[in-house]
Chains A and B, each alone.
Chain A
Amino acid sequence: MSPAISASSANPPSSSPARGSRIQLILVIAMHAFTQLVRMKVFYFLAVFAVIAIVSNFFSLPQHEGPESLGVNVLRSIKSWSLGTMTLFSVVLSVVATALLLPKDVEDRTLYTILAKPVPRFDYLAGKLLGVLMLMFVSLFLMDLLMTGVLHVRTSMVMADRIAMAEAMGYTPVEITSLKIETLAQGPTWSLQGAVFAVFLRAVVIASVALLISTFSTSTLFTTIITFMIYFIGHFQADARTFFLQSDTPGEGTFARLFSLLLSLILPDFQLFNVIDSVIEGQVMPIVTLVKLTAVGLFYAVFYTLASWFIFAEKEF
């Protein structure tokens, strides 16, 4: 007797195993999607990022300040290049990875074997999205570590140079302290960590948009193109909303407001994430801004995931 198929016959009515919780199921699918993406060697991109982070030490942004601002420019360059690369990586990968995972499962018919198990369709979708987000989080965390490390070393060097220059120019102790504070503001600050988190939130939103598109799209290419279009349109959403709200035509006020509301609901406002630019300039990101960004990011992620579920629940394979 083969033990592999004897147990169920011994006690057929109660042979079904107890189901784990829904959260465990989502985590199983998420870990699988994460592993799948990691084994596609996406982390090779981190090597490219490391090169960019190091090379950005030698780039110079246009400098409008006087010689007393010497070195600050390099710190801004490191932040600008690093955050720019993080944005590029997170947006491209979240779109492509999410757009790839669902159609590939349908095409390879692996989806049949998964949905033929006791797996609710929502759990499958949420798991896939979570897997992509886990990849984003780990990637951005590693890139953040690298950027912070490079920035820390370079800030120490710039600080030493600037203090030496200030002392040579006869700055008072108060002025030197002020200079130190100004230099540290350009280094690895909590606001910079907030900016990296904002990059992650933007990836969360764009990945959930790609998830929604992929539930009704017939190809990865279509999903990728449409998602990128929404991403670019999202950068003009705030302008369009302002335009409609400023409409002075009598009787169109209510319509304009409704349209604006609908537009805000459907299309994410990616301009909100432009706070990253001010962090590059050395400004402090208020905690309120971060909370607001988190709330907006989560709202869109939940909204798009639920919309994906409504479509996917009715989809036939």
Chain B
Amino acid sequence: MAETVPAVEIRNLLKDFPTSFRRQLLRAVDGVSIRIEAGEVYGLIGPNGSGKSTTMKALLGLVAPTSGSCSIFGKDSMKVDSRQDVGFLPENPYFYKHLSGIETLRFYGKLCGLGGKQLTERINELLALVDLENARDRRIGGYSKGMLQRIGLAQALIQEPRLVILDEPTAGVDPVGSRQIRDLILKLRERGITVFLCSHLLEQVQEVCDHVGIIFRGKMVKEGRLEDLIAIEDQTEIILRNATPELVAEIQALASRSGADCLRTGKPRTTLERLFLRETQGDDPS
């Protein structure tokens, strides 16, 4: 079977930055390798200053690797052509304040070579997707943080890219906005679009990603399928609805007789986010 071209391939990426006063070099990324297959949602997590954004910038050709290589669908990421298939949402994006939402999307669409009716239709679709139809003619300068992230996501999707790179997509966004962005990422995954997500919000990454990589002080310290990484192999979870105390006691006794240890019983808890969304949006807490 022929090997498919990965959406993202980063090989032994190493990036040094010169420091201001000393002649010493600051190593931001140290031998990181990542391979993301088409259609995957990959989350790169790590604390602030661990090298996440530098890795993404190297992948987009915004910084040149000191050594190693990055490619997007087999194309060298330092070449302009590789950006044809990429949509990028930077951390805390500020778009041109003098443009309205629709003008912003038109500008980015034209940069991708789109125009005419095709572009107009695409803009209308995206404004509907990110729920900004009512703010389409409003200047970006008047947008809230969540709206800025959503128009940013729309511009990232304008040329129907096969790969979307999101750098801290929910940074500073309220829980409702954060949920909307998360749902958009899930929609992208459903449609087979590859997503490379960079965040330090672990719960969010856990909700949407298939694969994760943990980066710390520039080095990749752990990488793999999310399910494999977080599963506790020697434990089993049973969740029951409407179970009586007698049934629970019976199950515990059965477990004890078969030599298993019952570590904990009790009521599972919802998350604070789910509670918030239930109270403000009327969502199902389960």
Binding site for B on A (CB under 8 A): 2-9, 12-13, 15-20, 24-25, 28-29, 32, 35-36, 39-40, 108-110, 112-120, 314, 316-317
Contact = CB atoms under 8 A, between A and B. Distances in A.
B111 A119 contact: yes
Contact of A5 (B63, B84, B129): B129
Contact of B115 (A20, A35, A40, A316): A20
B78 to A, nearest CB: 11
A108 B95 CA distance: 7
Given A8-B162, A112-B90, A16 B84 contact: yes
B94 A4 contact: no
Interface stretch (B54-62, B221-229, B241-249): B54-62
Interface in B68-85: 80-81, 83-85
Nearest to A317: B62
What are the 3 A-B residue pairs with the smallest beta carbon separation, nearest first?
A116-B88, A4-B125, A9-B191
Interface size grouping (class) on chain B: 35 or more
A32 B107 contact: yes
A7 B193 CA distance: 11
Interface stretch (B29-37, B152-160, B196-204, B208-216): B152-160
Contacts of B125: 2-4
Interface in B99-157: 99, 107-108, 110-115, 118, 122, 125-126, 128-129, 152, 155-157
Contacts of B38: 12
A118 B159 CA distance: 10
A316 to B, nearest CB: 4
Contacts of B112: 17, 19, 117-118
B8 to A, nearest CB: 14
B162 A12 contact: yes
14 contacts: A5-B188, A8-B192, A19-B112, A20-B110, A36-B98, A40-B98, A108-B94, A109-B93, A110-B93, A115-B62, A116-B165, A117-B108, A317-B57, A317-B63
Contact of A116 (B62, B99, B110, B129): B62
